[in-house]
Structure 1
Amino acid sequence: MRVRNEEEFQRKKNEIMEKCYECYAEHGLGAVSIKGLAEACGCTSGSFYTYFTDLDDLIVQSTAYCMSKVEDDFMAKAPTDIEDVWRFIDEIPYWTAKEHGKKYRLMYQVYTHPKYFSHGKDFFQGVNRRYSEYAAELESKIAIPKDIITPLIFILIRASVHYALFEDEFYLQAQLSVLKKGIAMYLSQKDRSLKEEKPL
């Protein structure tokens, strides 16, 4: 029974974090009161303190939780083989901007605020770890070593986030061009090495 109660507690907390983050992303951090958040979540103002110590705790936890979900959405679209890489590179920045642009804008507002800066540093340390893990997962699918995939992921993510924030097409295309050329060069070198190793 206790496990079930804990699961229900976490489910409700996750639901509150998502709703609150959406409210903040839509209206801004200073424009939504606890009362407004409670109404959006279908609960009382007092019930928030069952899940969070204060408003800052809500902001920090909801930002980390919701942005980790964005990462999961991102990686769910990851390429399944080397031929799918080009589709992924071309589609993902526009999909990210459409689906998560407001969330990214809010994340940077939160993590660049002096009050929450240390939480931002912790979050991005986790991002570094998770993207390295994603690179290891992709290695077997697209046949590119993880130590090469990892920096390429960061280029794509940064380009996609920048586009989601500012819709800067010039910057996006410049970054994607570097990314595509880097992959093409690696594949060309790999193909040449295989031909040289092949016995006559």
Structure 2
Amino acid sequence: MLADACGVTNGNLLYYFGSKDNLVIEATAYGMAKVEDDFMEQAPTSFADIERFLREMPALTAKLHGAKYRFMYQVYASPKYREHGKAFFNGVNVRYRKYAEQLSGKLGLPVELIQGMTYLFVRACVHFALFEDEDYLQLQLNAIRASLRAIVSGRGEEETR
């Protein structure tokens, strides 16, 4: 089916990727890169826009990418592909750092804080996409919101000093 969708023969597809395993690895990495790109296209453009992002992204991510998340976790949880999963998630660390650096000036928040909150938020979105667990999602979102309120409150105190 994949070869047909690509307009090539099975032999051409396997020749290009070298093996079925490489095809699975590359398809998984591509799918997750697409998810990250879509996520960043919706990223907040200002501090005030963070709430929109928190409100909209979990449902949007579940709708658009739930199947990709299930595929990725099935692949990377398999002992056969575990090392590829480790490599992928090491790349996530690098990419999230770059995303945080891109957003820092727009949001007026430190890079380290954005990077850490990104992990929390993405994990909450993935969990919601996989299990539709509204309680878990809301706990994570409330932790992010409380952190942001504390930051805003701290900024107000610093400005009055």
Please tell me the residue identity of whatever aligns with 1:121.
K
Corresponding residue to 1:185 among 147, 150, 155: 150
SS state at 1:144 partner = coil
Unmatched segments (≥5 aa) in structure 2: none
Partner SS for 2:43 = coil
**Deviation (angstroms), 1:150:** 1.1
Residue of structure 2 aligned with 1:99, choices 47, 64, 75: 64
Q: Residue in 2 aligned with 1:124?
A: 89
Task: Specify which of 34, 42, 54 is matched with residue 69 of structure 1.
Answer: 34
Partners of 1:190 and 1:147 lie apart in 2 by 17
TM-score (normalised: structure 2)? 0.97
Structure 2: which amino acid aligns with 1:147? E
In the alignment, is residue 136 of structure 1 matched against residue 101 of structure 2?
A: yes
Greater relative contact order (CA < 8 Å, ≥ 6 in sequence): 2
Q: Percent identity?
A: 48
Partner of 2:110: 145
Structure 1 residue 62 displacement after superposition = 1.1
Q: Distance in 1 between matches of 2:159 and 2:109?
A: 14
Q: How far is the alpha carbon of 1:38 from its aligned partner?
A: 1.6
Which segment is superposed worse, 171-180 or 38-47?
Answer: 38-47
Moved over 4 A (4+): none
1:53 maps to 2:18? yes
TM-score (norm 1): 0.78
| Correspondence 1:194 to 2:159 | yes
What is the distance in 1 between the residues matched to 2:152 and 2:114? Answer: 12
Structure 1 residue 51: deviation in Å? Answer: 1.4
Output the CA distance in 2 between the equivalents of 1:55 and 1:79: 38
Question: Which structure has the highest helix share of the two?
Answer: 2
Of residues 71, 74, 77 in structure 2, which corresponds to 1:112?
Answer: 77
Match of 1:164 among 129, 150, 161: 129
Instruction: Please give the alpha-carbon distance, in whole angstroms, between the structure 1 residues aligned to 2:41 and 2:142.
Output: 23
* Superposition RMSD in Å: 0.9
Q: Which runs of no fewer than 5 residues in structure 1 stay unpaired?
A: 1-35
| 2:55 corresponds to which of 90, 98, 101 | 90
What is the identity, as a one-letter code, of the residue corresponding to 1:47? N
Aligned residues: 161
